[in-house]
Structure 1
């Protein structure tokens, strides 16, 4: 009698192979997190943080080897133990697939043996196997789902209580430690508006040092726990973005949030004004800021967040607002292809503000979600009540980005 399988055995085996590898990676990252929480473990893990200078050269060979014995080797042994535990469980409960789960065991050996080689000082073992600690200039900003050198550099020199992951950034994303805002200098344009003020508030609560950029003359204040806090406020004007160049040298994250909404107007003046403020002003500021990204530290830590709006893919019942925001969105997608630092898009639905007095969401809720998703390292942050946007934006980003890659020079 022919045996019936609910799932094709080949597909099932592949899933078990990949699942066992993911499992040991999760074990690895959780072990790292625990090493920072539980002092008996940190006593050993702390050696890992003594090894490297900011340029990722090691302080000494002796300390490097000790750190490998005290952290890398035990970490690999914990991964190995749990991989065997997973294999034992499948051997008992799902024997048909127990061989597939040994993939996690074999995968772990690819960490254990190189760690031992580094610990005993085999020549060039560190150059061949410790890739996230290689010295030299960074060639790209922190990647999203996989850990590269700039991503891991931040764990050593930005915030040791964040960026825990070793290969996949999943655990950091779930914990909200994939981006640390603590101590970061963050400048927000459109700071006098509803969203601007709310962003300043929630970024401040996240430990950032915030700067308000506004075209108005008033000093921005935030009400925190019933007390008014004056924010460092910088006045600027559209077409005078170059005056901010010196300030941007000291800024870690620039949030481009300013804009206007002329609603139903379609005069030549309204067209020029809308494009100048909503599109080209933000574009100029983006380019000025990107010129400040020079060092490894800049590549790893500097970012730009651009509010392009849900109007990129859906009507805002304001044609000029839609046109200008879509243009800005496409320009940002184009620039992201070779940007020297991380650029995030903020795709926001209708929230109540001076630009949109009939908005449905509250600016405070939107700002809170933006900060939460940024800390999870979401590169295209969508906050809206429209479920279609969550489908339309990724499709649009993929198609437009692919088109730009194919038809622009490197």
Structure 2
């Protein structure tokens, strides 16, 4: 009876094991491809072959020359596929050495690679229609979606060609870019930060500057903001603005790639009418008006791909902050941002931050500099909900809340074509 149960269990696990081996072998060759691509930008002998790929396309992804297009496949895509094919043998060796059955499914990676190899050869030979079927991330035409988070689509790969060639290396899955921190390049991005005179605002400006971004401070203070770097003062572009006059910033926002909405107010235990109005006006309605103003600056395919909004909504979205009006206004902001994301013409990231030490929160337990550094590191890995906190519950509760609220809005509200 025991042997029969064991055999039945083994038979039941057989298809699961087969699928796992097959998927692992495919994932492995994808990793090999992305690492080969990354190495092609770091090692000159390989770059001399890879650079042909970068000679092919105009900014609209149309082909400069059919001859160069074909040569690029012989010099870049075919060698890349051959390297993938060679390394696809490794899963075979592992399952054979460890006697993991069924061993034949380890060949899925090799078969998968052959589709790339044959496609590259066909494109190199100039066979008609093959490029339309096999070279999907390089098709010309208007972008109908935003850069994808987990799978490489046309907008995502466009950035490798025309945003920063030293980033966005992934070919199908964005895994390697996330691990390397190359899923979002901040280099030369024009980034504006509201609440720039505050502790976190200054820390964000510093970390973004160190990431080679071109930073702009948006502040209610009339003083020009400077960064303290290596014992020196570095003045940065400073724009003064007032709550309620967000629409007047459109001309300046038109020149900005990433808008970080970081300003806010905490009235602590107050609950009178003025405190309610002030909390919602600054924390919620001002944020909404800035988002709508920034949307108006998104006019082209390039804008859809390069422009982003980051909103500091705080972990008060899901946890108490010992300040009822702060919690209420921040939760309202978070929900509005979640709804806006459904039809947004650009990527919107949320910054869900725990208590950091600042003038508004002198008992905060985290350093603002450390928080800012984590925000930048996670953004480079294309994390759309950036959680930085010491509270482990936030990492559990926020994704659940965001999933439920987003799908509730998707089901019970109507999509808009306004943008």
TM-score bracket, shorter-length normalisation: over 0.9
Corresponding residue for residue 256 of structure 1? 261
Distance 1:190 1:399 in 2: 30
> CA shift at 1:142, angstroms?
0.5
TM-superposed deviation, 1:151: 0.5
Alignment partners' CA distance in 1, 2:236 and 2:242: 19
Rounded Cα–Cα distance in structure 2 between residues aligned with 1:276 and 1:406: 28
**d(CA) in 1 for partners of 2:246, 2:45:** 52
Q: 1:245 aligns with which of 242, 247, 250?
A: 250
How many angstroms apart in 2 are the aligned matches of 1:369 and 1:225?
21
- Match in the other structure for 1:36: 41
Post-superposition CA distance 1:51-83 (Å, at most 9, x none): 000000010000000001111111111111111
Q: Distance in 2 between the 1:75 and 1:356 partners? A: 53
2:278 is aligned to: 273
Instruction: Note the 1:4-403 alignment, pairs <5 A.
Output: 8-403=13-408
C-alpha contact (below 8 Å) 1:210/1:231 kept by paired residues:
yes
Conserved in 2, the CA contact under 8 Å of 1:20 and 1:102?
A: yes
Aligned-partner Cα distance in 1 for 2:403–2:414: 18
User: C-alpha offsets along residues 314-372 of structure 1, whole Å, 9 cap, x if unaligned?
Assistant: 00010000000000000111111121111000000000112211111111110000000
Deviation readout 1:143-182 (Å, 9 max, x if unpaired): 1011111110000000000000000000000000001000
> Which deviates more from structure 2 when the two are superposed, residues 94-103 or residues 64-73?
94-103
Q: Judge conservation of contact 2:356–2:367 (CA < 8 Å) in 1.
A: yes
Could you tell me how far 1:387 is from its partner in structure 2? 0.1
Give the distance between the partners of 1:67 and 1:382, measured in 2 at CA: 42
What is the TM-score normalised by the length of structure 1?
0.98
Give, in whole Å, the separation in 2 of the partners of 1:141 and 1:333: 16
For residues 401 and 118 of structure 1, what CA distance do their matches in structure 2 show? 42
1:111, distance to aligned residue in structure 2 (A): 1.1
- Aligned partners of 2:181, 2:100: CA distance in 1, in Å? 37
Residues of 2 paired with 1:94 and 1:406: CA distance?
49
Between stretches 78-87 and 387-396, larger displacement belongs to: 78-87
Q: Distance in 2 between matches of 1:379 and 1:289?
A: 18
Contact 1:91/1:97 (<8 A) preserved = no
Asked whether the equivalents of residues 140 and 341 of structure 1 are also in contact (C-alpha less than 8 Å), the reply is no
Report the Cα distance in structure 2 between the residues aligned to 1:210 and 1:65, rounded to whole angstroms: 41
**Number of aligned pairs?**
410
Residue 229 of structure 1, CA deviation:
0.4
Deviation for aligned residue 1:292: 1.3
Which runs of 5 or more structure 1 residues have no equivalent in the other structure? Answer: none
2:110 and 2:47 mapped to 1: Cα distance? 25
The 2-side partners of 1:89 and 1:347 are apart by 42
Secondary structure at the residue paired with 1:8? helix
Q: 1:93 offset after TM fit, Å?
A: 3.0
8 A contact 2:18–2:101 mirrored in 1 = no
Aligned-residue offset at 1:95: 5.0
Note the alpha carbon deviations across 1:13-68, whole angstroms, 9 max, x for none: 11111111110100000000011111100000000000000000010000000001
Unaligned runs of 5+ in 2: none
Q: Distance in 2 between matches of 1:154 and 1:190?
A: 29
Secondary structure of 2:351's counterpart equals strand
